[in-house]
Amino acid sequence: MTLSFLGRIADRYGLTVRSLLSSVTEVAGQQGVVRALQGDSEVFLNAAARDRVAALCRVPQVGLRRALPAWTREEPLGPSKERPAARLYNGVETVAAWGPACPGCVAARTGRVAPARVYLAAHQRVCPRHRCWLMNVPGSGGRVVGLAVCPEVVQAQADHRRLLRRSPVAGSAFEVAEAVTAWWWAQEWPEERLWPMRLDAAMPAGEDPQRWRILARDLVTYPETVALATLLASRAWRLRVAADGGGHLPYRLADVPCVPGELGHRLRRSWLTERLAGCTHGALFGWTYQCIRTEGSSGDDEQRLWQVPLALRPRPLADVLAGYQRRQTAGTEGLPAQKRLRGHSVHAEGAFAAGLAHARTYAAQHGHLATQRDTRVGSFALGKWVHNQQAHALVLPEEKAAALKEVDPWWNIPWSVKWQRSYYRARDHVRRHGPLNAADGFPDTHMLTGEWLYLQCTDYSSLHPAQRRLLADIGLTAQAAGSARPRRTSRTAGIDKAVDCARAFAAEHGCLALATKNISYQGFLLGKWLTAQRCLTRRQDEPGAHLQVLDAIDVWWNPPWPLAWQRIWHLIRAHARDRRQGAAEGNWPDGSDGWATWLSVQCTGYKQLHPLQQCLLAEIGITAETAAACPHEIIGQLCGTGPGLTHARTYAAAHGHLATPLKACPEGFPLGRWLSEQRHQSREHHRSTGGTWPVSTLLAALGPFPLSVDTLDTGP
């Protein structure tokens, strides 16, 4: 370190470091030293100050630049560029990780014992010759810890250096491994035996155990960190992890069995396998996730593999130690206000807390957080907030991920949220109605739910392991999935069922034209199915076999004229037949009050009808001759005792006329409106053809039937 080098120069001249800096930067009695000097400080010099130091120690600038990493790192500003200036930086604000130089090596190099501090990379913290750990202690010059009782730490550095020589990603792999072991260290698992033993063995006499646990984290975990980094840096291992994922991104580490299993074996901790299996967050999970996502590649995607999010990196030693010291000095006044963690935003923390409160409200009501993106809780866009948390799940701090997992363990899934919502609907059905019956095609389920469940059964082997566990929770195991039948029947079976239903309907009602679009017969949507078959007939040149069967059931099931015409014709013919056979018993079907009008339209427009329609009308007595000569007689025969004419006859007998008010409604029949309709039809028919409306002839025979009613204030 630059300041350590200046300290050795000052020692040779019998000065303090502060005095030397003052002398180097002094111009006309003014000193250019900024900030206070502390035990872990580093100094940056501008060009003028560097020239003075080089002249003082008689070492060329090239040699100083090579020996001191911070020599030209920053140019502190003085009153002018020509005046020398020095700026002191403390603790974590230094150039890189540092520690004390090995006293034995310093003595061998300089011939005397003197403290020195040096920049230390991760693979330089152990002096293999003197077997000591060069520990960085914030606020001081560091500490040298003997490793006579921890030979595995010395061996770990040799392995670390060998790894750096052999692998181009060794440095990145070590950073990931360091974040992983730091998280393990914070868990304080009761099964861990080796780390507490190593911690106690390396602790100097008289050291506070709690403070020592903070300072010794890197020392104690170093062998396991190197072993883990060696494993992560292996390309063969990365390919194995990618293959073991089975083509699925992991929900937890147990979905990639080789990761927890191999780590437990490599680190000689069998219990670690079970501990890691349930891990759904953290640096190791993030590395595994990205390894499977990039399929172990070594291209540009590999950079994402080695990125450790800021929230998952080990907390700086200075921050942890400062928190411990605050707790120790709090005394009876209690703990002081918690200092904001480095890299955390007060605004972001408040926004997350607000979103989490809304998430708890939603989960308490619905039982999950599988929201759609436009879901809102009051004025809060919860769906968008949850989506953002899922998109950044790998970089969330541990405490935030744990809070969301507490609200909903399945808040962040590697499959689609739509699948998860469908699963919750199936789960709710099981809770309300009992176990699923896959062998019978999931009866009693909603159509969409049943089809979704059958789809899961057909794709069961390709589902994510966690998806299969969820389905097993509602009774859909691999065995049940193998016996599942579709919610919908096969197309052939469905057509056979529909044809049988159509045959039964035609046998009961006489024709298929009565099956309107919304008709459901024997639990089957017959009307909708027939409509679809009529559309199919118009699109196909050759009718299918089932369409030929429909022709055999009812030759007029798909007539070339409107179905409404066919329905009324069938009803009139059936009623006329029943009257001849004495089966009608005076009952008229609904809508029969419009038959007289319909028959009049057929008679007056007979020549415009389809030839086959004319043939059908002949079956009820309407021919070209009768339609032209005596249509009113035919209408009288077919519906003379129908509701309209019957009530008109009764009214005329009682009042001597048919000039009824519009609202006249004898015995509940709207006679006034019915007669008004006949007057309207009569006027329109006379205006267009000059002829007489057939029903008007029948009504005129009953009594005066004016074509307009000007004044009538009373009813019958």
pLDDT in tens, 262-320: 999 999 999 999 999 999 999 999 999 999 998 866 566 678 889 999 889 998 888 88
DSSP H or E stretch at residue 437:
none
CA distance readout (Å), 385 to 191, 282, 351, 678: 38, 21, 10, 66
φ, ψ at 295 (rounded to 5°): 55, 35
DSSP H or E stretch at residue 186:
helix 170-187
User: In this structure, are strands 33-34 and 86-90 parallel, antiparallel, or unpaired?
Assistant: parallel
DSSP H or E stretch at residue 145:
strand 143-146
Tell me which of 140-144, 351-355, 498-502 is least confident. Answer: 140-144
Q: Report, as an integer, the average pLDDT of 174-178.
A: 96
- Find residue 45's DSSP bridge partners: 86
Where is pLDDT greater, at 682 or 428?
428
**Residue position matching structure tokens 């030693």:** 317
**Residue 635 exposure: Cα atoms within 13 Å on the Cβ side:** 30
**What is the spatial distance between Cα 408 and Cα 370, in angstroms, rounded to a whole number?**
9
The per-residue pLDDT for range 424-454, each reduced to its tens digit, is: 999 999 999 999 988 888 888 888 888 899 9
The answer to whether the CB of 240 falls within 8 A of the CB of 258 is yes
The per-residue pLDDT for range 183-198, each reduced to its tens digit, is: 999 999 999 999 999 9
The C-alpha torsion from 145 through 147 and 150 to 154, rounded to 10°, is 110
Q: Provide the percentage of residues in the chain whose pLDDT is more than 90.
A: 38
Tell me: pLDDT of 53 over 70: yes
**What is the spatial distance between Cα 425 and Cα 431, in angstroms, rounded to a whole number?**
10
The answer to whether the CB of 671 falls within 8 A of the CB of 649 is no
The per-residue pLDDT for range 634-657, each reduced to its tens digit, is: 666 666 546 677 777 777 777 777
**What is the spatial distance between Cα 353 and Cα 459, in angstroms, rounded to a whole number?**
39
**What is the spatial distance between Cα 25 and Cα 34, in angstroms, rounded to a whole number?**
10
Give residue 356's pLDDT: 94
Structure tokens at 329: 């000095």
**Residue position matching structure tokens 């798909």:** 558
Give residue 263's pLDDT: 95
The answer to whether the CB of 685 falls within 8 A of the CB of 693 is yes
234 alpha carbon, distance to own chain's centre? 33
- Count CB atoms within 10 A of the CB of residue 498: 19
The per-residue pLDDT for range 600-644, each reduced to its tens digit, is: 888 888 888 899 988 988 888 888 887 777 776 766 666 654 667
The answer to whether the CB of 287 falls within 8 A of the CB of 240 is no
**Residue 667: what residue type?**
E
**What is the spatial distance between Cα 48 and Cα 72, in angstroms, rounded to a whole number?**
12
Does the model's pTM come out above 0.85?
no
Structure tokens at 224: 């396991």
CA distance readout (Å), 142 to 39, 118, 204, 301: 8, 10, 14, 39
Tell me which of 114-118, 176-180, 308-312 is least confident. Answer: 114-118
**Residue position matching structure tokens 């029969």:** 592
**Residue 630: what residue type?**
C
Q: Report, as an integer, the average pLDDT of 89-116.
A: 79
- Tell me the pLDDT band of 711, cut-offs 50, 70 and 90: very low
The answer to whether the CB of 676 falls within 8 A of the CB of 662 is yes
Structure tokens at 135: 């520990």
CA angle at residue 530 from 524 to 536, to 5 degrees?
Answer: 130
* SS3 assignment for 435-486: CCCHHHCCCCCCHHHHHHHHHHHHCHHHCCHHHHHHHHHCCCCHHHHHCCCC
Tell me: pLDDT of 703 over 80: no
The pLDDT mean for the chain works out to 84
The answer to whether the CB of 31 falls within 8 A of the CB of 22 is yes
Beta-carbon contacts of 393 under 8 Å, excluding residues fewer than 6 positions away, are 281, 401, 412
- Find residue 34's DSSP bridge partners: 87
Best CA proximity match to 284, nearest among 409, 182, 406, 161: 182
Query: What is the residue-wise DSSP string for 56-123?
Result: HHT--HHHHHHH-TTTTS-----SSTTS--EEEEEGGGSSS-EEEPPHHHHHHHHSS----EEE--GG
Rounded (10°) angle between helices 563-581 and 595-604: 110
Rounded (10°) angle between helices 217-233 and 235-244: 80
DSSP H or E stretch at residue 443:
none
Q: Report, as an integer, the average pLDDT of 228-246.
A: 93
**Residue position matching structure tokens 């017959």:** 526
CA distance readout (Å), 315 to 186, 217, 230, 451: 11, 11, 23, 50
Instruction: Give buried/exposed letters for 103-112 (b at 16+ CB in 10 A, else e).
Output: bebbeeeeee
Structure tokens at 186: 């914070």
- Tell me the pLDDT band of 686, cut-offs 50, 70 and 90: low
Tell me: pLDDT of 158 over 70: yes
The answer to whether the CB of 250 falls within 8 A of the CB of 289 is yes
The answer to whether the CB of 588 falls within 8 A of the CB of 643 is yes
Structure tokens at 333: 């006044």
The C-alpha torsion from 206 through 208 and 212 to 215, rounded to 10°, is -100
- Find residue 664's DSSP bridge partners: none
The per-residue pLDDT for range 549-580, each reduced to its tens digit, is: 888 998 888 899 898 898 888 888 887 787 66
Rounded (10°) angle between helices 258-266 and 217-233: 130
**Residue 310: what residue type?**
L
Q: What is the DSSP letter of 516?
A: -
φ, ψ at 127 (rounded to 5°): -90, 105
- Range of 274-278, 540-544, 678-682 with top mean pLDDT: 274-278
User: In this structure, are strands 117-119 and 98-100 parallel, antiparallel, or unpaired?
Assistant: antiparallel
Q: Report, as an integer, the average pLDDT of 712-716.
A: 42
Give residue 357's pLDDT: 95
The per-residue pLDDT for range 390-436, each reduced to its tens digit, is: 999 999 999 999 999 999 999 999 999 999 999 999 999 999 999 99
Best CA proximity match to 248, nearest among 468, 423, 479: 468
363 alpha carbon, distance to own chain's centre? 15
The answer to whether the CB of 84 falls within 8 A of the CB of 52 is yes
- Find residue 132's DSSP bridge partners: 127, 146
